[in-house]
Structure 1
Amino acid sequence: MSLDIPAAIEDGLARLPTRVAAILFVAYLVVGALSTVAGQTLGLAVQETLRRTFQGSNAVPPSESMAAGPMADTSPLALDVGPVVAVALFLIQIVLAQAVGVVTVRTFVGQARRSFPDDVDRRFGWVLVNALVAGFVVNVLIFVGAIFLIVPGIYVAVALYFVQFEVIVEDKSVVDALRDGWALTGGQRLPLFFLLVVLFAIGLAGAAPGYVLGLVGAPQLAVVATSVAVGSVTGLLTTAIGARAYVQLKPDGWAPAGDASPFKY
């Protein structure tokens, strides 16, 4: 099947004013808040570790140096913990974000409105691990492509865009998802590129309110809260549009793994 960009956008937008989308929005808020805390905590922990390394025996206590560091004013949600705990917190939020992503993709790929798919937790642990690995592999391949030139990196990003969808929806292994995700976009990579440009623009628009608040000197907590809230909306929207585009490229009569009609309207 061919990709119809306006239809994918319209279909994705239609999935936001629903009960399940409202629940997912709350989950995105939680993940966004945790991600912000984890990111700021890791940043300050790394800064403190570097400071201790360079100061040697003259290093000041962590609580004092973190309070006086240049990142302190811009990291209001950072926790005063060591680097090991900071890394652990960062990894936990990555796993949690991926878990929410699995539920979101499985929901938006179907026709859900008032309830989640009956089998949304199907092989959840196995799929979660494979989705994390697949995402890592795709990012590495994009990075390798970008090393040679920007264009190869963009091409790989477009060609492998649906790899995680193949893992999440079809319960495929990483290797199978890479192969089938590449094949799925064959012949549709130019329109898919334009769709990804639209999704990128949506992401930029979502980042704009927080950026503007930062420019006008708003309190950092207000900047963070606005960024997380708006980012949750744009994150849901881009995932919904991507899910509907994925469905368009599947063969006629295709249904998600599991029951033939596992989604409740």
Structure 2
Amino acid sequence: FHPAELAEAALDAGITYFDTAPGYGDGQSERNYGEVLATRRREVFLATKTGSRSHDDALRSVEASLKRLRTDHLDLLQLHGVSAKEDFTRWDRPDGVLRALYRLREEKVTRFVGVTGHESAAAMRRAIELFNFDTILTTFNPTATRRPFRELVLPLAHEKKMGIIAMKVMGGGFGSLAAGNPLKNDLATYWYHDQAPRQVEAGMLIRYALGLPVSAAVVGMNALAHVRANVAAVCGKPPLNEEERKALEVHLS
């Protein structure tokens, strides 16, 4: 299958939040989306990112993304990959990236600006303490390694009435909850250090994330079966409640 088929299938199934970045496949992810957006742009909430930290580089990055995506506007433009070593003093200088993001928002090239990161909960919290972002994209799953993001970042983002988007709900690369095909047999396998594998229904991990005060969850998919399985996992099934979430956290601790 062609990757654009996945985007078409997702739209047909009711998935409308599309997340990408220039660094995903060296721009290929944006190109794949562009094949669909050329005819179905109005159906999509489109989010991409810039890893630049300077004004001019960020503008060039966004211009290139728009060309690959075959659109003239974004719904969400995010500052990509906040790290523990981030120099926040650079961001709001006259030649800093925030001037570019805010300018693009004022010019309606993007409706919203956000920030993303999964390396350091403390750095993510500091970013949203210091600056005016509309959204945050960060990691929420039941593992102990992700607890700081739930405890340090989530309450403040909620207090500031930000849009909160969950990522790495299957674990991503950090003690992965999903080994190999995350939806094979409708199970995700949790490997963490030297512990025995723990098996969890993939749908439970999505419903865990949606049970938190988030606006959406980003889940990677690389097969049509994943699209169907992810949709089936949440259709007609409520997000996990607090008791169910805590039980899952204990199971994976």
Global fold match (TM > 0.5): no
Please indicate the TM-score interval, normalised by the length of the shorter structure. under 0.3
The structure number with the bigger radius of gyration is: 1
The answer to which structure has the higher helix fraction is 1
Structure with the bigger RCO (C-alpha within 8 Å, sep 6+) is: 1
The answer to which structure has the higher strand fraction is 2
